[in-house]
A and B are shown apart, each in its own frame.
Chain A
Amino acid sequence: MKNDIVVDLKNIYFYYGEIPVLEDVSFSIKRNDFMAIIGPNGGGKTTLLKIMLGLLRPDSGTVRVFGKGAEDGRKSIGYLPQNIFFDLSFPINVFDMVIMGRYRGPIKKYSENDEKSVLNALETVGMLEYKNRHISMLSAGQLQRILIARAIAREPELLLLDEPMASVDPETQKSIYELFLELNKKMAVVFVTHDIGAISVYIDSVLCLNRKLFYHGPKEGSLGKLEEAYSCPVEILAHGIPHRVLGRHKK
């Protein structure tokens, strides 16, 4: 049972200067989880992800990723960042960008196996025909799919996705959710969103975060806690949530 836990956070506190971002956050992610982390802007969602990735260190509390410290454990994580800081005019094409997700260590060249995984990942996100395209010649949605490909090319055991549906059209959103569902057979999938509407029928657990952890558990129980997390009535924020969250239980 203990092996089922891939990420374990205990009593995490994080401050940006004197501003508390996370207070006493504890939860764990299991191997088969398909989890949405929701909460308003500034609620600490991205910070929490970065703590799991070892990009930020909590001021107190313990982080275990695959039973190791975050900096060792993160090698088994596929990561989709929310903001991109790279330069779109950088001399790199889609293939070379995605293969960076396959990095395993110095000196070693990327193998044929790595190249195959990249092509598979590109096919999965429907971008195979763009593999030789320069990154400046992609739309925002296409770039987002390439970033997803870079995360899954790693063949990780946990996918951490920060706002994966940003700039993706509704049609593609559906196919990406289905893709995550498929990937979830092999790995834990955790994604961050501030859009409550994104809690679709697909996910099985929800984590409501607004500085403190308001709720963590199956999506059916989350509604009341959502109001608390957002500190205003949920109906105003997202129409039709009750139908979507509670409507049917897909197995």
Chain B
Amino acid sequence: MEIFQYEFMRNAIIAAVLVNIACGIVGTYVVIKKLVFISGGISHAAFGGIGLGYFLGISNPIITAIPFSLVSAITIGLISKRSKLSEDAAIGIIWAAGMATGIIFINLTPGYAPDLFSYLFGNILTIPVSDLYIMLILDSIIIVIVVLFFKEFYAVSFDEEFSTVVGIPNRFIYLTLLCMVALSVVILIRIVGIILVIALLTIPSSICRQFTYNMKKLIISSIIVGIILTIAGLWISYLLNLASGATIIILLAIIFFLSFFAKKIISSFRRSWKKDSGAM
């Protein structure tokens, strides 16, 4: 296929693989622990970091987005667990305050902010090689953490109170989980942009969880589904000359709804098959 001859296409495909490794792992926890809205808050707050990068004149604002989203993740986590403020109020405040900070920083930066739009809406086709290295490093960090603390993440995601009783440092694990969300968000910003981060983080795992109850299978299948759909979306956007980030997400959403109906059909087919074969 001709599209693979271009270097930017090769980079885009490598990025699709790297980004979906993070999304498949972290997105699975986001979905099963219902952290979707928190992830939305962290991703929008990351815009403050992008703005800070512009203001400081850093060539790659992703670098400043990393500490910024980590801090906002921890802040959301601490506020929601410690104070009487409800979790969704805490998320809303950090969400808006982060974005506002970004806007102020960009205001303060003299001159025009180039490719600001690519941070909001993403562009998988313009990913520089340096970003691929950042993605690779962040992926490695996420994989190491999850392999080391798989039991803890699993238990805390399932039942926080019981985890505490058996001696798991519940709050520490929860904050680590939010930090992994923050790292994934940073990886994702280049691909689909701040506004659409939640989609790539949640849709592959939401598709897969309909078909398996096994956590490890769920993570691995989410990674594979994510990679396939991201590359397919990229290819469709190339054919139809559409924005890549938005096309990928529309494709994910369509596949999610199709899988939802497919699951219903499969279940009813299984039920009637059981009846016919007389198995009770």
Q: Which residues of A are at the interface with B, using a C-beta cutoff of 8 A? A: 53, 55, 74-75, 77, 79, 81, 84-87, 90-93, 96-97, 100-101, 103-107, 109-110, 134, 150, 154
Contacts and interface: CB of A to CB of B under 8 A. Distances in A.
A90 B161 CA distance: 16
Contact of B162 (A81, A87, A107, A134): A81
Interface stretch (B88-96, B124-132, B144-152): B144-152
A2 B152 CA distance: 35
Q: Is the interface of A mostly helix, strand, loop or mixed?
A: loop
B155 A91 contact: no
A10 B160 CA distance: 28
Interface string B148-187: 1101101101111111111110000000000000000000
A55 B165 contact: yes
User: What are the 6 closest A-B residue pairs judged by CB atoms, nearest first?
Assistant: A103-B166, A86-B159, A134-B213, A91-B213, A100-B155, A79-B165
Given A85-B159, A134-B213, A91 B165 contact: no
B174 to A, nearest CB: 14
Contacts of A92: 154, 158, 213, 215
Contact of B165 (A74, A85, A105, A134): A74
A127 to B, nearest CB: 17
Given A91-B32, A103-B151, A106-B152, A154 B166 contact: yes
B152 to A, nearest CB: 6
A159 to B, nearest CB: 12
A86 B149 contact: no
Contacts of A85: 159-161
Q: Which of B157, B213, B215, B218 has the most CB of A within 10 A?
A: B213
Contacts of A93: 213
B218 A150 contact: no
B34 A87 contact: yes
Contacts of B161: 55, 81, 85
Nearest to B155: A100
Given A105-B167, A107-B148, 9 more contacts: A75-B166, A84-B159, A87-B34, A91-B209, A93-B213, A106-B148, A106-B149, A106-B151, A110-B151
B268 interface: no
A100 B170 CA distance: 14
Contacts of A87: 32, 34
A99 B32 CA distance: 19
Nearest to A147: B162
A84 B158 CA distance: 10
Interface string B32-69: 10100000000000000000000000000000000000
B162 A55 contact: no
Contacts of B149: 106
21 contacts: A53-B165, A74-B165, A79-B162, A81-B162, A84-B159, A87-B34, A90-B32, A90-B157, A91-B32, A91-B218, A96-B154, A100-B155, A100-B158, A100-B159, A100-B166, A101-B162, A103-B163, A103-B167, A106-B148, A106-B149, A106-B151
A150 B32 CA distance: 21
Most chain B CB neighbours (cut-off 10 Å) among A79, A86, A103: A103
B83 interface: no
A100 B212 contact: no
Nearest to B150: A109
B121 to A, nearest CB: 32
Contacts of A77: 165
Contacts of B159: 84-86, 100
Interface string B193-221: 00000000000000001001111001000
A91 B212 contact: yes
Contact of A91 (B148, B164, B215): B215
A86 B162 CA distance: 10
A141 to B, nearest CB: 19
A54 to B, nearest CB: 8
A107 B148 CA distance: 6
Contacts of B160: 85
Contacts of A86: 158-159
A101 B161 CA distance: 12
B162 A100 contact: yes
A75 B148 contact: no
A92 B158 CA distance: 8
Contacts of B152: 106
Contacts of A97: 158
A79 B163 CA distance: 11
B31 to A, nearest CB: 9
